[in-house]
Structure 1
Amino acid sequence: MKSALITGANKGIGFETAKQLLQKGFYVYLGSRDLNKGLEAVEKLKSEGLTNAEAIQLDVTDESSVKAAREDIGKKSGALDVLINNAGINGGMPYTALEARADQFTAAFNTNVLGVARVTQAFIDLLRKSAEPRIVNVSTSVGSLSLQSNPSWPAYDYAKYAVYASSKAAMNMYTVHLAYELRDTAFKVNAVCPGYTKTDFTNHNGGEVEEAGKRIVRYALLDQNGPTGKFFSEETNPETGEIPW
């Protein structure tokens, strides 16, 4: 049975992604900063007949929490097949480049960039033991420098979230380097935008969470001929999915 770890999986897109991977026969570790919320999420999944789920206390901003999660999963599983770095924050208001405080940038980068690096580095040894390791870094189209600087982009005039967008752009660069360093291996590493989705993150505006989950799962299940080192947003580019960095 293949296994997956999803950070920030106790609700929203992370939870839906866990649900869909469970339906496809995976054993899923639901990383949750608050373990009680993770346990509640697991119970909800089990009430739907999805029993191969387990809550793991995992705060991506806390080195000791990440290490403890790695030790815990390592004792239970000889390998990890999929890592989905989903946990993220927007940094809070105000969002603009001239008004956002330094502490907002610090918090967003600590979760959205350093958190991804911490978790990836902690679990890379377990991923290397998989025959088909996959890493999906959950991103956003507003983290695209090309789109954000293009006046013809439909979201040009309203998708200006300086803190969140800059942290995701930095995470995208981490993804590029990670994919490069793993280029001659079986790894597939991609950044994926699930789209504007109805969750707490968007005050429940946007598309359906089921579609967002499908978009992430699609890249978690890539075969050996699948792409790596790419940036995908099927909401932005329905034809091929790929968008510019």
Structure 2
Amino acid sequence: MNSRENQLKAFDRLLTIMDELREQCPWDKKQTMETLRHLTIEETYELGDAILDQDLEEVKKELGDVLLHIVFYSKIGSETKDFDIADVCNSICDKLIHRHPHIYSDVKVENEADVKRNWENLKLKEGKKSVLEGVPKSLPALVKANRIQDKVAGVGFDWEEPQQVWLKVEEELQEFQDEVKAKNQEAMESEFGDVLFSMINYARFLKINPENALERTNKKFINRFQYLEEKAKSLNKNLKDMTLAEMDVFWEEAKRLPKQ
């Protein structure tokens, strides 16, 4: 691995290149924080894909893309004299030191739960009116639910045992089924949301990341369905003309394939 000196040289090289691009490249010169925003989100999702695929070479590349965006925003901030990359780095350093008093002060902690509880309490002391203020409004609903539950648990608002959460899941499932039988569309949607919220909570107790779990299932389904498409094509068949029984044969084959 690279020495700290080489790491700093590499970062300095990136800053220099960013200065040059901002001054000389027509595309880079035009960019604003607003135009970069959707690209940053896209890069973050690409990083997430690489992590789930356990493709470390791709993770390295995608981390570079994300780092470029951080440097780009900082460069724009320096042009308006609002902040630069040093301010960004010092800001997160100060936050980390302040929120880790068990490392940089004399606070004692017993476990990870104590650390998270201290973190949320410190945020409230910093002026936040709610522990949920830090949850971005634009987060996808599934990710947002997980973050909401994680944050309130950090201040002690939580179940004690996984079995209690599972009982809540069963309760919500029953309420959902009751509305399905009643054919009340609005109530069905509300109760279905409660089912999802309780399942996400149960996943948290089992230390399962629901977003990762669902995305792995998405990838698994895509792989199996594409296998089904390929098998049908090899037989000169159209999926629309095949029976479910015929398709199920290939589906079961796909399930037996490695890493499916």
TM-score of the alignment, normalized to the shorter chain, above 0.5: no
Q: Whose radius of gyration is greater, 1 or 2? A: 2
TM-score interval (norm. to shorter): under 0.3
Normalised TM-score (structure 2): 0.23
Q: Which one has the bigger strand percentage? A: 1
